[in-house]
Amino acid sequence: MSDFRRRNLTILGAAAAVSVLLAGAALYEEAQATKTQFTPGEFLPGFAQQVKDSARIRVISHSGSFDVAYSPAKGWVLPAKGNYPADFNQVRHTLLGLAALETIEPKTARADWLGALGLDTPPHGNGLEIIVSDAGGHQLAAVITGNSAQLETGEGGNGLFVRHPNDNRSYLARSVYTPHGDLSDWVNTNVMSVDAARVNTVTITPFSGAPYTVSRAHSSDVDFKLDGSPPPKGLTALTSQIDLIPQIVSGFAFTDVKPASELDFSKPAHLSAHTFDNQNIHMDAAQVNGAVWVKISAAPDPGTPTAQKQEAEMINARAQNWAYELATERGQFFSMKRDNLFAKAPAGQPEGGQPGEGPPGAGAMPSGPGHTPLGALTGARH
């Protein structure tokens, strides 16, 4: 009986092994047939030859939609932001990236699986749709992009799931650039670039109260000091806060932008910064719904080298007619008075002596809601 059972088990095992081999062969043949039927190639055939005719880029995502348009007079601009200049590098990389999209293999065509690849139709779905048109409104290219993926080939590029609008068939494509769906990524943030080592003095005239100035004698000095009378008895200057003031200029960043004509600058606060190489940066500030917006201009000292004159002209050309919203931690200085830069001196520190940090929470500054509709934008990107 034992030999009979052993013989049956051997026969069944052999049959199972044969079945597995046959099934594997069938799957392999099917895969090879599918692979044979699909030929990798351009995802957007012909767009590489038409990309030079691009005049409008429509971006649609789950968070909304916006256009990037080409103006013969102004270049690429953002109509939603009063035709503020767009980041040309973002435009160039996006268009060339679409032209270079190369399909590697087909993926699912099931509509209920597209969400897993990030390819659901926006704005309700999680995909990112980009439509490119020429000056006459004729559509040159359209694509919905989804999640990134790791490519198994060694030919370079990144994997990106894509599909054509109104077609559920998805593909894994090789991409040289991943499109961006946030408006903040398309805003030209290169307004001015003033190195921190150049800043000599900064004077702020707040919305209410007397002007105050922070300065340093040498560019090698690490900290700025609060000019004027020493701190009242028992108080010390808040160096950590004082050193943030020059960064309004040297690390200029903004969270939103709009035409200055849309805001009331009739009763502004002011900032005036002077550099060691004799450049002057001016800001007029207006407060709107708790947010601080600034207009910027530049004017070098008389007799300065040509470089400073050219820098001022460039800043004025870029910033003229525009207002920039500052992040709360920077805009709040336009509402501060000089006394807000003092705090109780820590035990053992001479009163009114060397500036100190002060205890946590001391010298509290005016607070307000954060205003970051575009996210933090900084000229350091350029």
Reported as a single tens digit per residue, the pLDDT across 115-144 is 999 999 999 999 999 999 999 999 999 999
Is 89's pLDDT higher than 60?
A: yes
Residue ending a domain, choose from 136, 157, 186: 186
Is residue 17 in a domain?
no
Q: 253 and 376: one domain?
A: yes
Question: Which residues does residue 172 pair with via DSSP β-bridges, in sequence order?
Answer: 105, 161
Mean pLDDT (the chain) is: 86
Residue 146's contacts (CB-CB under 8 Å, 6 or more residues apart) are 114, 117, 118, 119, 126, 127, 128, 160, 161, 162, 163, 170
Residue 297 lies in a domain: yes
- Under 8 Å between Cβ of 76 and 92: no
Residue at 203 is within a domain: yes
The CA distance from 188 to 190, in Å, is 6
- At 167 the pLDDT is 97
Task: Please tell me the least confidently modeled range out of 16-30, 83-97, 179-193.
Answer: 16-30
Range of the structural domain that residue 129 is part of: 47-186
The per-residue pLDDT for 36 is 53
- 175: in domain: yes
Start-to-end Cα distance in the chain? 84
Residue 184's contacts (CB-CB under 8 Å, 6 or more residues apart) are 374, 375, 377
- Structure tokens, 331: 């805009």
- Choose one of 143, 164, 186: the last residue of a domain: 186
3-17, 174-188, 316-330, 345-359: range with lowest mean pLDDT: 3-17
Do 169 and 217 lie in one domain? The reply is no
Residue range 8-53, pLDDT digits in tens: 445 545 554 544 454 444 434 444 544 557 788 999 999 999 999 9
Amino acid at 48: A
Q: What is the DSSP letter of 203?
A: E
- The first and second tokens of residue 131, run together, are 């439509």
In a domain, 280, yes or no: yes
Q: How many beta carbons lie within 10 A of that of residue 16, not counting itself?
A: 10
Domain assignment present for 28: no
Query: Is residue 102 situated within a structural domain?
Result: yes
Q: What is the tally of structural domains in the chain?
A: 2
pLDDT digits 0-9 by tens, 343-364: 988 876 655 544 434 433 334 4
Q: Give one DSSP letter per residue of 158-197, joined into a string.
A: EEEEEE-TT---EEEEEESS-----GGGGB---S----GG
Least confident of 3-7, 67-71, 133-137, 318-322: 3-7
Residue 379: pLDDT above 50? no
CB atoms within 10 A of CB 337: 14
Q: Tell me: do 88 and 175 sit in the same domain.
A: yes
Three-state secondary structure call for residue 121: coil
Cα–Cα dist 111/232, whole Å: 70
- pLDDT over threshold 50, residue 313: yes
Domain boundary among 151, 186, 221: 186
